[in-house]
Chains A and B, each alone.
Chain A
């Protein structure tokens, strides 16, 4: 079955880069997503990558995809206090609209 795994916590110093990792098991994944959830709020789509790409950059965000190892990462450059949130990795498999499979989320903690 489908499974998406993430570390539960990551602590970084303000100004450093944060790298949040995710592994997935379904090789038929078509799109992979990163969502951000701030306390008490809903999920905000940060970025996504199509499975035939290996990198996507969007301002401070860089997504790397290693399809062979089924490994996805999100790098946040120059981490700020506003980046403190839970980051969810999610995969979309096949076609249709049967929803996304989410990881449990990585809680990013920013140290001053």
Chain B
């Protein structure tokens, strides 16, 4: 298994540009989520999905859209990038063993800079 993969690894955008961060997993995990990591802030949840066709907002959803058309893929879209979205973005996926426990596997991250 490749686990959780993310592309691109690095990206530089100008303010107002749009882009999509890709995330894919091959473990047949139901649950997928996006976090952003900022210095001194830990990880904060942006959006998550409990299965294909179902998404919901996390702690910091503004400026981001997601969709989940397949179990494998969970892209994160920035419609109009802002400097405040400069961050490292992590995608995670997880399975449920007993309905309450989700062991999350993380991708390697995408480092995004918005000028």
Contacts and interface: CB of A to CB of B under 8 A. Distances in A.
A48 B103 contact: yes
Nearest to A48: B103
Given A97-B48, A98-B48, A104-B41, A45 B31 contact: no
Interface stretch (A13-21, A54-62, A88-96): A88-96
Given A41-B108, A102-B43, A30 B48 contact: no
B78 interface: no
B94 A97 contact: yes
Given A97-B50, A97-B94, A99-B33, A30 B100 contact: yes
A96 B50 contact: yes
A32 to B, nearest CB: 11
Nearest to B6: A42
A104 B39 CA distance: 8
Summarize B's interface: helix, strand, loop or mixed.
Answer: strand
A65 to B, nearest CB: 15
Contacts of B73: none
Interface residues of B, number: 30
Given A99-B48, A105-B42, A42 B96 contact: no
Contacts of A50: 101
A45 B30 contact: no
A53 B49 CA distance: 29
Interface in A40-85: 41-45, 48, 50
A88 B43 contact: yes
B45 interface: yes
B40 interface: yes
A100 interface: yes
Contact of B102 (A35, A42, A92): A92
A1 to B, nearest CB: 10
A45 B93 CA distance: 12
Interface of A: 4, 8, 30-31, 33, 35, 41-45, 48, 50, 88, 90, 92, 94-105
11 contacts: A42-B90, A94-B100, A97-B33, A97-B50, A97-B96, A99-B45, A99-B92, A100-B45, A103-B42, A104-B42, A105-B42
